[in-house]
Amino acid sequence: MTAAAGRPAGPTSSGSWHAPFARLPEGVAADVRITTEDGRIAAVETGTSPAAADIRLGGLVLPGLANAHSHAFHRALRGRTHGDGGSFWTWRERMYRVAATVTPENYLDLARAAFAEMVLAGFTVVGEFHYVHHRPDGRPYEWDAMREAVVTAAAEAGIRLTLLDTLYLAGGLDADGHAPLDRVQQRYSDGSLQAWAERAFASPVDTSLARTGAAVHSVRAVPEAELAQVRASLDDCGIDVLHAHVSEQVGEVDATRAAHGCTPVELLRRNGVVDGRFTAVHATHLTGQDIAALGGAGAFAAFCPSTEADLGDGIGPARELHDAGGRLCLGSDQHVVLDPFAEMQRLEGGERLRTLSRGRFTPAELLAAATEEGYASLGWDGGRLEVGRPADLVAVRTDSVRTAGTLLEQLPLAAAAADVTDVVVGGAQVVTDGRHRLGDVGELLTGALRPWDGATTPDHGRNPS
Ligand SMILES: [Zn+2]
């Protein structure tokens, strides 16, 4: 499929790629040459000869695909939590067990491998919702070692990163208000809004491939007094991007009603959090008023269909939110699978099951959610193959057992991560012919996950080394 001989693996100042087909903003075009300079697209030409480019790609080239919501360490839970039923809350117990044992060293390995798996699947940018930022006893690291691990992992794996540094102050919410942090949650907290802002945003990550954004973990974890100050605090630090988990579980909505007399979205709205820079993650259990509030503000909603199915969260009102003015994007969250096509297919599939009708989203709308809308929710202007945009490209086979015979416009509804052959991020070729520049990603994952072998099962747990 690909002739990439002689191509250096690292970042390059310029290069050109030829594809038999590419998905441009106006539609699929043939014989496309994309030239890049300094990590951005310098030219897009159609009707060109393959011989006139440095690298010949096969299949259909898509813009880079965005993973708007990730917790890299949750990769340690895949295939390890299905044995004894349970609920979101019992799953969370397992997740806390992993979170308690993450160190800067083992997290670097795990995040590097998880990010490499993402790139191999066609994700070119990730929003890492980062809340395990302190020592297990709640003390800060001397230098922000967990942040450094994430940033280093992303750079080595070759994925564009928005580090969503997360505010987490309380241990839960019920009718009596917020609970104190429990022992495991100590390491998620800076102790105060001011301490969070100073640690996270005094010297934000700001490179051509990585930047800092912010997150409020949820209304469960941040009291209203602090919610009311978040936007002003971020404005002082020059941070626009703000994400929050919202209404993933019915229990969260009920607790918010009992404590505050309103839904989580309404609580966020009345405290100035909901605007065009805000991303509501999950947005599963929304009222009509919530939909109007998010849509009217032009806020983003990051649906995570594979996780929402895995955890039994429910199916959010995606089409209604889109029609109200909300901007949809997609995330893999706990990485039950890492496959941007699966997320698109499950978003549409959930809508069909929920409404008993077909074609809830057009293939173009699904692709927009997976590309430019995800980029925008993370503060990047990528996800479109046009001049001036970040040079992030994904080549997908059109002749695999899954994709043979599909209309190119509908390929996202048929393809899988396994059909991705080549991935370019910031003008650098990271995946070539299905191989990541770091080597065998399965091997990387196997080694990186070793500290948690057995650590997520209730009866056979042991402390990771
Ligand atoms: Zn999440």
CB count, 10 Å around CB of 150?
29
The answer to whether 321 touches 328, Cβ cutoff 8 Å, is: yes
Stretch 309-320: mean pLDDT, rounded? 95
Give start-end residues of each CATH 3.20.20.140 domain in the chain.
Answer: 65-377
**List 190, 290, 313, 333, catalytic entry:** 333
Alpha helices (H) in 264-380, listed in sequence order: 264-270, 288-297, 305-310, 318-323, 340-355, 363-370, 372-377
**Which CATH superfamily is 65-377 part of?**
Metal-dependent hydrolases (3.20.20.140)
Distance from residue 334's CA to the centre of ligand 1 (Å): 7
Q: Return the closest-CA partner of residue 114 out of 452, 419, 393.
A: 452
CATH code 2.30.40.10 region(s) in the chain:
15-63+385-440
CA dist 360 to 19, 203, 352, 370, Å? 30, 43, 7, 16
Tens digit of each residue's pLDDT (9 = 90 or more) over 390-404: 999 999 999 999 999
- 268 C-alpha to ligand 1 centroid (Å): 17
Burial classification of residue 354, based on how many CB atoms lie within 10 Å of its CB (0-12 exposed, 13-18 middle, 19 or more buried): middle
Measured in Å, residue 167 CA sits from the centre of ligand 1 at 13
**Strand extents, DSSP E, 9-122:** 14-24, 27-37, 40-45, 55-56, 60-63, 65-70
Q: Which residues surround ligand 1, an ion (CB under 5 A)?
A: 333
- Chain-centroid distance of CA 408 in Å reads 25
Confidence (pTM) = 0.94
How remote is the CA of residue 322 from the centroid of ligand 1, in Å? 21
Backbone angles phi, psi at 145, to 5 degrees: -65, -35
Nearest Cα to 243, choosing from 194, 195, 299, 197?
299
**Residue 333 annotated to the active site:** yes
Distance CA 129, CA 70 (A): 6
* 70-74, 75-79, 257-261, 445-449, range with the lowest pLDDT: 75-79
Burial of 100 (0-12, 13-18, 19+ CB in 10 A): middle
* 214 C-alpha to ligand 1 centroid (Å): 14
Question: Can you read off the two tokens belonging to residue 37?
Answer: 């300079």
CA of 390 to the centre of ligand 1 (A): 26
Q: Has 134 been annotated as catalytic?
A: no
Task: Give yes or no for residue 187 having a pLDDT over 50.
Answer: yes
pLDDT tens, position by position, 190-242: 999 999 999 999 999 999 999 999 999 999 999 999 999 999 999 999 999 99
CATH class of 15-63+385-440: mainly beta
Task: Tell me how far the alpha carbon of residue 333 lies from the centroid of ligand 1, in angstroms.
Answer: 5
Average predicted confidence (pLDDT) for the chain: 94
Write down the H helix ranges in 141-263.
Answer: 145-157, 193-201, 224-237, 250-260
363: CA distance to ligand 1 center in Å?
Answer: 26
Catalytic residue among 217, 282, 285, 322: 282
Distance between Cα 245 and ligand 1 center (Å): 6
Ligand 1 center to residue 70 CA distance, Å?
6
What are 129-154's pLDDT values in tens digits?
999 999 999 999 988 999 999 999 99
Q: Show the CA angle centred on residue 167, arms to residues 287 and 374, nearest 5°.
A: 60
- Would the pLDDT of 331 be above 90? yes
Indicate if the pLDDT at residue 11 is higher than 70: no
